[in-house]
Amino acid sequence: MSSNLFLADGTVVGRALPQFGDTAEVPALCRQDVLEPHLRHHAVEFRNWIVAAATSLRAR
């Protein structure tokens, strides 16, 4: 599964490529000490996309 983050003009400024394995575990059962760093990672990546988009817009 992949998803893209686009500007209004169609420019791709971010992409997520999560992978899921064949397992009986569901995310709701994930331990907090595993889940918290994972969520922080996504927050940092999202921030990086927003900064890149803002920089791209200023450069135009």
What would the pLDDT profile of 7-55 be if each residue is shown by its tens digit?
A: 888 888 888 776 666 665 556 778 888 888 888 888 898 888 888 888 8
3-6/12-16 β-pairing: antiparallel
The confidence score (pLDDT) of residue 19 equals 66
Query: CA-based angle 15:43:38, to the nearest 5?
Result: 95
The confidence score (pLDDT) of residue 23 equals 65
- Supply the DSSP symbol for 1: -
The confidence score (pLDDT) of residue 16 equals 78
Q: Torsions phi, psi of 25, nearest 5?
A: -70, 145
Q: pTM value?
A: 0.53
